[in-house]
Amino acid sequence: LMQNEQLREEYLNGDEKSRYRLLHELLRMEPVVSNLMRRTQEPVNVEVAGKSITIPANALVNIDVYAANADPQAVGEAPTQVCPTRELAPRVQEPAMSFGDGHHRCVGAYIAIQESDIFLRHLLQVEGLKIVEMPEITRNEVIKSYEMRNFYVTIDES
């Protein structure tokens, strides 16, 4: 939002629903956790490329969140472009798999978006706010996520 003035203005001028939609869309594009590992409790039948496949009970399933969040069957056309008003497939939530799904869906998802909204609305309204140094982005292989460090911003008072 600090790098795209149009998105920043859209966010700052939007009502709560549109701001949350944009935050969910950005999270869909850049999920913090990239892989979810789950064990099946019972056999699961899925259809893949026209073939029926059964995943046996107690199988470890690695869900690639980036790929799931960019699946055009789930999130519609142009899945790698930001579009907060996109049409989603039935039962697909706005952040797609970024907060998980089903029994393992993050119970604090709403609070995380609300906290982000409160913080960003205040931060992005500061006149003269600019990025001094882009963050270092590293991978945390233990939890399959990214970490940001050394992200510096300043306020240009001129």
Record the pTM: 0.88
Give tens-digit pLDDT for 64-121. Answer: 999 999 999 999 999 999 999 999 999 999 999 999 988 889 999 999 999 999 999 9
Q: Looking at residue 144, what DSSP letter applies?
A: T
Q: How are the residues of the chain apportioned to helix, strand and coil, as percentages rounded to the nearest 5? A: 30, 25, 40
